Amino acid sequence: MNDETSDKPRTIFSEVLARVRANAHKAAERGWVKPAAVATDAVCTRCTGTGYLMGRDAEYARARLCVCREQCPVCNGARYVLMQEGAYDVATPCECAGLVKRVSAFNDAQIPAGYAEKRLSALGPGDVHGFSDRGLESLKRAKAAVNRYRVSMVTDVEKGLLLIGGLGLGKTHLVCSLLSYFALERGIPCRFIDYSDLMARIRATFDDGSEEKQSVIIEALVQTPVLAIDDLGKGQGTNWELSILDQIVTRRYNARRIILATTNYLPEDQLDKRHGADARKRRDLSEALEDRIGERLASRLRAACDFHVLEGADYRVHGLR
């Protein structure tokens, strides 16, 4: 290795360190030693103190830094500060780097645009973005289950959630509000996928000239700490589709990674309670989850997730909130 090549990493590090030191010195000159507590009457009116703003593009929900936090007064945008350790100045992440990480985690989650501002609880009587349990016990229980995750969820030991019920009960709302919390408040990487869209995306990899590979798509869904699968069982239910789902669910279960999911299909035991044990009568009325994804996968999901059944009318049809 020649001298020019060996000195290159050292030069790059020196440049970064010089920038951090210069920004730290500027901050010190201006009295910005650490982030000051924001006075109540000085809270940003744009973001109300969160540091980020919510929005959407054509397909996904998006967050961005508010102008009040784009240029951090402590690090001057470097995202690092110098800390004195003995006789040395050590570059460490600035507190603002945590906010940047959380915003990035939210944008990588691919939450649908229509759920950009959905949250678990309303901020006031006129807030349409909070989840409404409509006074229904099953919806109250589901909301309480999601709230327990907000309070105590530990990504490598906690079971997931499968929210089960008909259309317009708020299942996707609950899941998206939980993903938003994990990403924006805790910086936990998440992914949202619609079951049918996933299958269509993987089919597209079979086309000549496709820029994506099936293995890459599946691997990303297996590795993310929290995965939400919406409308489980909605597809055609072919052996190929079930093999894809099996790969994702089984590998995540074995790795003890969280699975959140929604489905319109009740498990067999719930259908038996509703329609009686007459299997022919039950099948004539509706399909069970086991009919849609197979008994093996349904059993695996029982081990990986707590099941919560939501019951009520479709709020989209009846205008309920």
The reply to whether 85 and 117 lie within a common domain is no
Listed in order, strand segments (DSSP E) in the chain are: 52-56, 61-65, 80-85, 88-93, 160-164, 190-194, 226-230, 258-263, 305-309
Cα 277 to Cα 74: distance, rounded to the nearest angstrom? 67
The reply to whether 86 and 148 lie within a common domain is no
Tokens for 174, please give them.
Answer: 């609950």
Tokens for 51, please give them.
Answer: 């540091």
Q: By residue range, what is the domain housing residue 129?
A: 109-318
pLDDT at 70: 84
The reply to whether 176 and 265 lie within a common domain is yes
Cα 62 to Cα 108: distance, rounded to the nearest angstrom? 9
Cα 90 to Cα 314: distance, rounded to the nearest angstrom? 57
The total number of structural domains in the chain stands at: 2
- Report the pLDDT averaged over residues 87-115: 90
pLDDT digits (tens, 9 = 90+) for 258-279: 999 999 999 988 887 776 666 5
End-of-domain residue from the set 70, 94, 118: 94
In a domain, 101, yes or no: no
Answer yes or no: is pLDDT of 226 > 50. yes
Instruction: List the one residue out of 102, 109, 131 whose CA is nearest residue 119.
Output: 131
Question: Would residue 256 be called left, alpha or beta, if left means φ above 0 and alpha means ψ between -120 and 50 degrees?
Answer: left
Answer yes or no: is pLDDT of 75 > 80. yes
In a domain, 102, yes or no: no
SS3 category, 82: strand
Instruction: List the one residue out of 263, 199, 207, 211 whose CA is nearest residue 235.
Output: 199
**pTM for the whole structure:** 0.80
pLDDT digits (tens, 9 = 90+) for 64-73: 999 888 888 7
In degrees and rounded to multiples of 5, residue 23 shows phi and psi of: -65, -40
Cα 297 to Cα 247: distance, rounded to the nearest angstrom? 10
